[in-house]
Amino acid sequence: MAAIITTTAAPSPWTTPRSSPPPLVFTIPPFPGPDELIPAAKSLSDVYPGSDLPSQSLRWQALSDKFKLIYKRPVSFVTRSPGRVNVIGEHIDYSWFPVLPIAMAQDALVAVAIARDPADDATVEVANVDDQAYDSVSFDLSDFSNPFFQIKHTSHWTAYVLAGIKGALTFSKLCSTDTFKPLPKLRILIDSNVPVYAGLSSSSALVCSTILAVLAATCSHPPLAAVEKSFLVNSAVIAERALGINSGGMDQTASVFGVRDSSVFVDFRPLLSPMPIPVSSDLVFVLANSKVVSKRADIGPSRFNVRVVETTLAAEILAKRWGAVLDIRDGFGGTLRGLYDSVCEREGWQMGTRASEEHAMREIVKRIRTEFWQKTYSLSEICQMLSITPDMLQYKYMTRFPISAQSLNLRDRAIHVLEEAFRVKCFSAMLSDGNRNMSALGSLMNASHNSCATLYECSCPEVDDLVGIARKHGAEGSRITGTGWGGCSVTLVRAEKLHRVMTGLRQDYYKVRGFEPDVIVVRPATGASVASWPGL
């Protein structure tokens, strides 16, 4: 990773009063995005739409009351980051292709106070408002200064909090500034209403909020730290990977750059460039939870990380055969995006229109089919194709993120990625052109799901069932969303058919299986912020 540059906003000696020190700005190459800062929320209405204010003020009041009850002191500030629903573009962000998520209204709140009394323990205390389900944990401050500190219990709920604290300290340490202090004694209370294990990035929401909380708390005058959104995204991506998932950057970008009433078209190359695309109110997205647990810690080694290796190896083998030179993604391996761009350039194809993108995608898919004529390849066959030893294969691709696989499917995974990337471009172009051809949008979602189910094999029978039920009851399109192998479906519905589709899902899925209905309308929400106001 390139060095992290810290820019301290140049204070004007004439206009900056002594009492207000210049803010810290945390910024991180190599993927600097727009130099927007995380907003400071001064009231709940900066965060939530008017219709949510009554319920959110009760929730925030309960958080504040519980904080006082547990820690015998008031909350200093609250950081918040939302979960996300991916509309289209599944499992292509780690191949560096653009995706189209939405930040949800559901979010992870991290309420913080610094214990300044010398008599207080030198600890970081972490509790959850739902103390029946989540036990409180106390960490010694010295744990965090130990460079060999490792998160042992990666499936404990606080693993994401620890990853966030450690990540914040690691990245901020690279910022040379005297206004940044060592980790103080923190009291933290968490309230997240992002459904867990549902493929909605509850983990990224928690990591983003925690990093933001630590950055704000370790600044001399909390919460004055000015954190660049792209710094937060990059730190959160890297911090979360420490828990064993070789993920892309979609979840964190959606959580940080979310915009109310908009989806976010996220491109990762050459820079992180999130672009809001308004979602008009006649496009209704419905989220239905299959209740099949999609737990990252469980699916990482046998599924998720295997897909990352399959797509990486597909890119590298094809690049070797076609003489393409690939950029290395995050110190791991080449990407299909790199391959795609390189082929288009070498062929001299004029890109930038739907027809040219479609031609390039189809031509490259055709070539992939002829290169990989077997469905799967053994590890030794892959070594031969790359001219490397089994030890090298293991070391380069299967050590940092352990995987368990005997053979790999390169062809179908690569075809999914290229075709899905084209669908994202079509869908996003239609949305930004204000094209409300619902059935065309729906068809793209249906095709995305079919590809996830058959080529990428990241769905499961229950989510396939949800998708089929929604389509049967009149949805325009429906697909699995998020990490996969369980979790939720996202469905595009015309407003006038919303009732019919919701009822159909309740009757044919939840009632038949004896589950509590878990189906909601998605409302695109704002991204991460730091909230502080008197009496919080």
Whether 223 contacts 530, CB under 8 Å: yes
How far CA 387 is from CA of 154, 373, 392, 536, in Å, comes to 35, 19, 10, 61
Angle (nearest 5°) at CA 223 between 112 and 185: 45
| Cβ closest to ligand GLA, residue 93 vs residue 107 | 93
Please report, as residue ranges, which positions from 235 to 274 form the binding site for ligand GLA (by CB under 6 A): 247-248, 250-251
Please report, as residue ranges, which positions from 201 to 230 form the binding site for ligand GLA (by CB under 6 A): 201
Residue 65 Cβ vs ligand GLA, minimum distance, rounded to whole Å = 33
Please report, as residue ranges, which positions from 102 to 161 form the binding site for ligand GLA (by CB under 6 A): none
| Cβ closest to ligand GLA, residue 115 vs residue 445 | 445
Residue ranges in 14-155 assigned as alpha helix (H): 53-71, 141-145
| Cβ closest to ligand GLA, residue 222 vs residue 333 | 333
| Catalytic site includes residue 65 | no
Residue 477 Cβ vs ligand GLA, minimum distance, rounded to whole Å = 17
Given its phi and psi angles, is residue 293 left (phi above 0), alpha (psi -120 to 50 degrees) or beta? Answer: beta
| Residue nearest ligand GLA (C-beta atom) | 247
| Cβ closest to ligand GLA, residue 251 vs residue 357 | 251
Whether 526 contacts 103, CB under 8 Å: yes
| Cβ closest to ligand GLA, residue 56 vs residue 289 | 289
What is the C-alpha separation between 151 and 159, in angstroms, rounded? 7
Residue ranges in 14-100 assigned as alpha helix (H): 53-71
| Cβ closest to ligand GLA, residue 430 vs residue 452 | 452
* Structural element, H or E, at residue 126: strand 123-128
Residue 532 Cβ vs ligand GLA, minimum distance, rounded to whole Å = 30
Tell which one of 210, 483, 491, 526 touches ligand GLA (CB under 6 A).
483
Tell me 162's DSSP state: H
Tell which one of 33, 98, 274, 482 touches ligand GLA (CB under 6 A).
482
User: Long-range pairs for 511-515 at CB < 8 Å and ≥24 separation?
Assistant: 513/291, 515/291
Whether 463 contacts 429, CB under 8 Å: no
In the set 93, 107, 191, 251, the catalytic residue is 251
Classify 469 as helix, strand or coil.
helix
Site string for ligand GLA, 414-453 (x = CB under 6 A): ----------------------------------------
Q: Which residues pair with 277 in a beta bridge?
A: 263
Tell me how long the chain is: 536
Classify 404 as helix, strand or coil.
coil
Residue 508 Cβ vs ligand GLA, minimum distance, rounded to whole Å = 26
Query: Does 401 engage in binding with ligand GLA (CB under 6 A)?
Result: no
Residue 304 Cβ vs ligand GLA, minimum distance, rounded to whole Å = 7
Query: Does 487 engage in binding with ligand GLA (CB under 6 A)?
Result: no
Q: Which residues pair with 186 in a beta bridge?
A: 114
What is the C-alpha separation between 524 and 261, in angstroms, rounded? 5
Residue 119 Cβ vs ligand GLA, minimum distance, rounded to whole Å = 42
Residue 258 exposure: Cα atoms within 13 Å on the Cβ side: 32
Site string for ligand GLA, 174-203 (x = CB under 6 A): ---------------------------x--
Site string for ligand GLA, 54-93 (x = CB under 6 A): --------------------------------x---xx-x
Query: Does 94 engage in binding with ligand GLA (CB under 6 A)?
Result: yes
Residue 351 Cβ vs ligand GLA, minimum distance, rounded to whole Å = 24
| Cβ closest to ligand GLA, residue 90 vs residue 191 | 90
Residue 486 Cβ vs ligand GLA, minimum distance, rounded to whole Å = 12
What is the C-alpha separation between 159 and 204, in angstroms, rounded? 12
| Cβ closest to ligand GLA, residue 98 vs residue 477 | 98
Angle (nearest 5°) at CA 420 between 415 and 425: 135
| Cβ closest to ligand GLA, residue 341 vs residue 420 | 420
Q: How many chain residues interact with ligand GLA (CB under 6 A)?
A: 12
What is the C-alpha separation between 322 and 333, in angstroms, rounded? 17
Whether 236 contacts 207, CB under 8 Å: yes
SS3 content of the chain, % helix, strand, coil (to 5): 45, 20, 40
- At a CB cut-off of 8 Å and minimum separation 6, what does 270 contact? none
* Helices 461-472 + 498-505 axis angle, to 10: 140
Residue 79 Cβ vs ligand GLA, minimum distance, rounded to whole Å = 20
Output phi, psi for 377, to 5 deg: -130, 140
Q: Which residues are catalytic?
A: 251
Q: Which residues bind ligand GLA (CB under 6 A)?
A: 86, 90-91, 93-94, 201, 247-248, 250-251, 482-483
